[in-house]
Amino acid sequence: MKILVSDPVSVEGVELLQKAYEVDVKTGLPAEELLRIIPEYDALVVRSETKVTKAVLDAAINLKAIGRAGVGVDNIDVSEATKKGIIVLNAPEGNTVAATEHTVAMMLALARNIPQAHASLKNGQWLRSKMMGVEMRGKTLGILGLGRIGSGVAKRAMAMEMNIVAYDPFISEDQAEAMGIKLVELAEIFPVADFITLHLPKTAETKNLLNKETFAKMKPGVRIINCARGGVVNESDLAEAVEQGIVAGAAIDVFEKEPVDFDNPLLKLDKVIVTPHLGASTAEAQVGVAVDVAENIIAVLKGEPISTAVNMAPMQPHVLEVIRPYFELAEKMGCLAINLAEGRINAIDVEYNGEISEVDIKMLTTAVIKGLLNSILTEQVNYVNAPGIAKSRGIKIREVKSKDTANFANLITVTVHTDKKRHVVAGTLFGATEGRIVMIDGDRVDVDPRGWLIVGPHINRPGIIGNVGTVLGNAGINIDNMQVGRTEVVGTNIMVMGVDSDVPAAVMLKINAVDGILGAKLVNFSAV
């Protein structure tokens, strides 16, 4: 077998591949040259430069695996690769330590004014008295997000004798307790934390999570560290909070727009230290992702199981034929269910009714978990690791199969149980391939799960829907489709409204401020 490495990767990964197979390293290939030679190869290793398009995959008649030496796979047509039975894999853990250590480094540099002291001394100034810092010992660190990196930061902060409080609605209290971390609600962190570090994905719920309003609730002199995602912290509000002395300082590695605009207000403040998205930029991390990908490429070519596939594992053809049309629907049902949920998740039930219950549906359950977790976590969730991630977070998964049906030949029902309440979403196929959401919390609907969706329970009285439409119209957001259904609660309806674009958090606040709206939620199906 032959392997093509078409982007620069660490030599350690290449050498590992060479011990097992014939390897060609050809970087910087023009698109037409890649098309010409790709039929020779059984596996392809890329980073971000090579674009693995449908045309490339059509030409890759012998290709069995594509390995991305990194996390993101935006340069690979994953859906087309899946159709052709090509396994796409990445290296999600190779840079975890690098990102963790960078966060801690930024926190220490912020506490001791290291960049400012360095710059002043290089400029011929001895400003020792002006560079007074603070100790980490005894301070309270608030961690927003307890994934791999957040947990790693907590472990290292404990070694510095810091007190840890954390917010993560998608991890169980038992799991947090096992790590020695006190789990609290987000609002409980603000008044007690001396340092706040973010390790959350950027979603509709987390965009501008830290803003003018939340800064005002924080302990005076708090320090903010963001090495997670740009846009989770409102940059202009942070700059204002620093200038006003509410925030003593900030350490920022990621920005809403990258490369960052050099007129960004954060770049003009001495109390804000910045780095150009260096979280994963270590020699060891680059070696780590290259070695991880090489090991898994070898495993795929040997027919062995792997743990980093971003598309589905192979299954029996007759099973795949039955369940293939449901994969996208299952993922989007998981996405919808988690966006409706309130509180900490304890369990997920997936019930299959009808003919679909007669085959192995484990992969569809995995699709539900994948859609659910990808909506809330920074780490990439795929068909291989989704069950393990759910288990590690203390989320119980239960499958129920029944041949009994009511109004549909086949029906999938997803129930998310939290410590506050449960939410139920049901879906089916119209025709052979058209996925539809047909029930939300017991209320009959007919929803095409695509783009952006606003789900808004409301009091059944005139003017409410019109007022919501006015809010959207004033924001320049077009309503693509809408339906209203009566809920199980007497005197209330549910509005399900499809829109053509994302709805900013400020606009959602205005919608929820409409008199009679009972908690509207925004769902982004385009992220699934």
pLDDT in tens, 41-52: 999 999 888 999
Helix (H) or strand (E) holding 364: helix 362-374
Helix (H) or strand (E) holding 224: strand 222-226
**pLDDT for position 406:** 67
Architecture of the domain defined by 451-528? 2-Layer Sandwich (3.30)
**pLDDT for position 197:** 98
Of the two residues 77 and 392, the one the predictor is more confident about is: 77
Q: How confident is the model at residue 394 (pLDDT cuts 50, 70, 90)?
A: confident
Q: Tell me the per-residue pLDDT of 3-48, one tens digit each, with 9 for 90 and over.
A: 999 999 999 999 999 999 999 999 999 999 999 999 999 999 998 8
Integer Cα distance of 433 and 436 in angstroms? 10
User: Looking at residues 263-277, what average pLDDT do you find?
Assistant: 95
**pLDDT for position 134:** 96
Residue 486 has pLDDT above 80, yes or no: no
Residue 444 has pLDDT above 90, yes or no: no
**Does the active-site annotation cover 199?**
no
Catalytic residue among 12, 15, 185, 258: 258
Strand ordering across the sheet containing 479-486? 479-486, 492-499, 452-459, 521-524
- Identical fold, 2-93+285-311 and 96-274: yes
Sign of CA dihedral 67, 70, 75, 81: positive
Residue 245 has pLDDT above 90, yes or no: yes
Nearest to 216 by CA among 194, 195, 190: 190
CATH of domain 313-449: 3.30.1330.90
Q: By three-state DSSP, how is residue 96 classified?
A: helix
Q: Tell me the per-residue pLDDT of 314-355, one tens digit each, with 9 for 90 and over.
A: 566 778 788 888 989 999 999 999 999 888 888 999 999 998
User: Looking at residues 416-423, what average pLDDT do you find?
Assistant: 89
Q: How confident is the model at residue 313 (pLDDT cuts 50, 70, 90)?
A: low
User: Looking at residues 267-288, what average pLDDT do you find?
Assistant: 93
**pLDDT for position 491:** 82
State the amino acid at position 239 in one-letter form: A
User: Looking at residues 427-443, what average pLDDT do you find?
Assistant: 89
Average pLDDT in the chain: 91
User: Looking at residues 63-76, what average pLDDT do you find?
Assistant: 87
**Does the active-site annotation cover 258?**
yes
Supply the pTM of this predicted model: 0.74
Integer Cα distance of 475 and 453 in angstroms? 16
Catalytic residue among 229, 393, 417, 423: 229
Nearest to 70 by CA among 48, 37, 53, 102: 48
Least confident of 2-11, 74-83, 226-235: 74-83
The topology (CATH level 3) of 2-93+285-311 is Rossmann fold (3.40.50)
Domain layout of the chain by residue ranges:
2-93+285-311, 96-274, 313-449, 451-528
Tokens of 118: 């360095």
Catalytic residue among 112, 156, 277, 436: 277
Nearest to 210 by CA among 157, 259, 266: 266
Superfamily of domain 96-274: NAD(P)-binding Rossmann-like Domain (3.40.50.720)
Express as a percent the part of the chain with pLDDT over 70: 97
Helix runs in 21-126, H state only: 31-37, 54-59, 78-83, 96-112, 114-122
Residue 305 has pLDDT above 60, yes or no: yes
What are 380-387's contacts with CB under 8 Å, separation 24+?
Answer: 380/71, 380/90, 380/92, 380/310, 382/308, 382/309, 382/310, 382/311, 383/309, 383/310, 383/311, 383/312, 383/313, 384/306, 384/307, 384/308, 384/309, 384/313, 385/92, 385/307, 385/308
**Does the active-site annotation cover 417?**
no
